Each structure stands twice: as structure tokens, then as C-alpha cells.
Amino acid sequence: MFLGFHRVPPSSRWCRRAASMCVIAWTSGAVAQNLPADNGPEGSLSLARAIELTQAHNPSLAAFPLESDAAGAAVDSAALRPPISVGADLENFAGSGEAAGTKSLEATLSLSTVLELGNKRSNRRSLATRELERLDVEQQARRLDALAEVARRHLSVVVAQEQVNLAADDTVLARQALDAVSRRVSAGASAELDRYGAQTRLARAELDERRTRSALDAARVKLAVLWGEERPRFAAASGNLFSLPALASLEQLRASLDRNPDLLRFASEARVREAALALARAQSRPDIDLSAGVRRLEDLDAEAFVLSFSMPLGSTRRSEPAIRGAQSDLGRLALEERAARLELYGTLYGLSRALDQARDALTALRGPVLEQALKALEQAQRGYRAGRYAYLLLADAQTQLLEIRREAITAAAEYHLAALEIERLTGESMTRVGN
């Protein structure tokens, strides 16, 4: 049994990274022992299945195509030419004297439009296209966030299952201790006070077991709502919490930071700001308002063509602030990327050290520390039955063993959570199946 990562067949290069980044292949045999065997058609739920359900049914992910359609519509809109307008002017009618009625009417029918100079339409379309590409990168990052959240919640269920197991074992130990104390009290070998202490210990263990089962139920619901289920159909989440994945070196992980979604956003944002700068520069070229048409002269019983155009003055001066602003935005982006890269490395380094600490702690807690606690409990049980030790020594040995097991669960959970965060930072799996 192991806690490893496997890859899901992708439809794109990014999906391959997303799947390998998040999928912790919790092996199916490591289901919590004190849970129902099955309570629905799903049975034991693997992380791969949880990710599959989330990608298929999560409402937030389902909105991505609509967002892309809206951004695509903006690209189409930016590519449109300025509209052609139809105008009609009526002059010198319904007056007095010679202008009475329509004798002197001058009627003009014209078509007008704006002639864009400086390649504005192309730059406008380029900016909208870059915005669409930025949206795609943002969606990829949000998809990774969603898959990482599936992994975290699946891990929470596995941790809760281990805590239920531990609480159930604590109840068993407390009940066994109460039986032993009751026999000694009945035989007159122990004081009634020991029975009261054992009864209190059992009551607290039963209360803790109910609390952990309630927490497990909440964790299962929190996982299932990611794919729209309010009542989870799976009985348990499969996985071996105490099998830790093999790690890449810190330098290898650092080299993978270029695939971090937050850094990829800077690349797409740079293209957006470059397109915005190009459009701002194009705005310095003034456009021409052009109008052409036919005028009817009633008093001459004739028609004539009319043509007019206008061009704003000072366009270059008015566009300078927008150009300076776009240049500043583009220059500031490089500094922001540098700061983000340093921050990501600091986070990666801290997570790497947390992994080492958690692994060392788990190795000790599941190794020599646990062995000593088991020996202490065995000796305390044997000594209490023989009448050599007081009940408090037995209760202390039980409590110490349970605390060690609880700390081991915490260390393993911290390890896997740190591993998930590292994978979110690097954008790909850092483990190998079978390690």
C-alpha cells in the first residue's frame, strides 16, 4: 500500500499537468476499519474518481466555456469596422415668403463613417485576443486550484477516518481498563475511586469517538459538494495516510517554478499590456470623419453631390498620457514578476523544510517512539493485573500511546498537505508511482 501519484489521460498538455499535479492515488485497500463497508453505489472513493467527478460536474468549472464565449465575442466585436451611418438634412422649408412650403427646399441624403488610421482596428482586435489568452491561463490556474482543493478535501476525509479509528481504539482500551478495575474493586484489591476514574475515562473516550465521527461526516459532505452531491454516495475515501511519496530535490522543484500558474499569468499579462501599449500608440493617429451624399435643390430643380470630412487636432498630445501609462504598466510588470518569483521560492523552501520535519517526526512516531509506548502499555497492563501498579499508571500508559498515534496522524497529514502545496507551486507531480 502506498500514497503515490498517477497521471490521468489528458486532452491537452495543461490537463496532463493538472491531473498529475493533484492526483494522489490513495490505494483502495486502506479504508478505515471502523466505517461501514458500503453505503451507496460509489463504495470506496479514490482521489482519481473524486477529480473525475469534480471536472465533470463542478458548477464553477462548468462556467469556463461561457466565460470563453464571452471573451470570444469581445474579440469579434473588436474586429468590427466603424459603422456606416445614414443621415438626412432638410433645409429652407416651411418658412415665409420665398421659403414658404417646399419651394426652396434643400434635402440632403448622406452616408457617413469614420476612417480609422494607425491600424487601430487590428490593434484593438489584438488586445481583445490577448485578453482571451489571459482568460485561458487564468482558467487553467483556477482549474488547478479546484483540483488541488479536491485533493485537500479527499485527504481530510482520509485523516478523519484515521481519527475515527483512533477514537474507537481509545474507547476499546478504556472499556477494557474499566472491566479490569471493576474486577479488582469487586475483589477488594482496589479502591472505588479507581472505578470512578475508569468510568470517567470511558465516558470521555466515547464522547471523543462521537465527535470524530461527526467530523468525518462533515468532511465527506464537504468533499461531495464539489461535484454537486449534498448526500455523499461513497462509504469511505481510499488511501494509506502513512505511506509518504518520494520527493524531488529542492533544486529540481525550484526549476519547476516556471510552470507555476501565477508566473504563467505574468507572461499572458505582459502580452496584454504590450497590446494595450500598441493600441495607445495607434490612438495618436487621428481618425477622419467622412460623409458623402446627394443634395436635392428644389428651386433649381437639380441635384448635386456633397462631400465633407473632419479631423480632430492635437490627437498626438492627447494620447501621450495613455502611452506613458501603458509603458509604466508594462515596466512595472517585470518588477512584480521578480517579486512574485522570490516569494514563491521562499514559500517552496519553507514547504520543503516542513516536509523534512514531518517525515522525520512520522518516522520516529511510527518507529521507536511507538515501540516504546507499546512496551510501556504492555508492562502497565501486566503489572496492574498482578497488583504491582496503580490504575493511574495504566491510564497514563494508554493515554501516552494514543497521543503518539494522534501525533503521527497529524504529522502524516501535514506532510501530504505540504506536498499538495508544492505540487500546486510547481504545476506538476513530484512523486512517482510505487515509491
190 and 389 in contact (C-beta within 8 Å)?
no
Per-residue confidence (pLDDT) for residue 209, from 0 to 100:
96
CA dihedral of 219, 220, 225, 230, whole degrees rounded to 10: -120
Per-residue confidence (pLDDT) for residue 98, from 0 to 100:
67
Per-residue confidence (pLDDT) for residue 367, from 0 to 100:
93
Nearest 5°: phi and psi at 17? -65, -40
> Structurally, what CATH architecture does the domain formed by 3-426 represent?
Up-down Bundle (1.20)
- Of 177, 200, 169, the closest CA to residue 389 belongs to 177
Rounded-to-integer distance, Cα 235 and Cα 212, Å: 16
Q: How far is CA 277 from CA 124, 208, 258, 319, 334, in A?
A: 11, 62, 26, 11, 15
Per-residue confidence (pLDDT) for residue 291, from 0 to 100:
87
Instruction: Find the length of the chain.
Output: 435
15 and 226 in contact (C-beta within 8 Å)?
no
Q: What share of the chain is helix, strand, coil (3-state, %, to 5)?
A: 65, 10, 25
43 and 28 in contact (C-beta within 8 Å)?
no
Edge to edge, the sheet with strand 302-310 lists 85-91, 106-115, 288-297, 302-310
Sorted by where each begins, the domain ranges of the chain are 3-426
- pLDDT < 50 regions, the chain: 1-42, 430-435
Per-residue confidence (pLDDT) for residue 97, from 0 to 100:
67
